[in-house]
Amino acid sequence: MYMSGFMLSALALTGCGEELELTVTPVKNVENVQVTDLNQLDVYCQTGICQFDVTANQQANITVNMHYSESRVFEKIEGVSVTGKLGSSVVMVDENTFTLDVSGEPEPSKLLVVDYYR
């Protein structure tokens, strides 16, 4: 059985001088993840339906931008399902962006994101 995937860890300085460490683990249909700014992720999913896990070493609010490719963003996120301690914290920013609180617990937040126009 062949499993492909990657884990992305990002360090960012927070106001107290403590480093925020985010870990993103693709579960299904995630081609790439990039940290573009403090607490901000770009997730690339060519199928329009993807799953990934996010953990952090401390509680934080992160912004997630969803893309099909470098030149095409999700047109309208149909839904974001989150399983985890702060799963109800999802706030839609626009058609392809949402914010999410992560708990800082070792248990990951498990996300499923679906684009309406997939």
pLDDT in tens, 12-43: 444 455 788 889 999 999 999 998 877 899 99
* pLDDT tens for each residue of 50-93: 999 999 999 999 999 999 999 999 999 999 999 977 777 899 99
- Is pLDDT at 11 greater than 60 in this prediction? no
pLDDT of residue 14: 43
Q: In 3D, which of 114, 116, 77, 81 has the Cα closest to residue 96?
A: 77
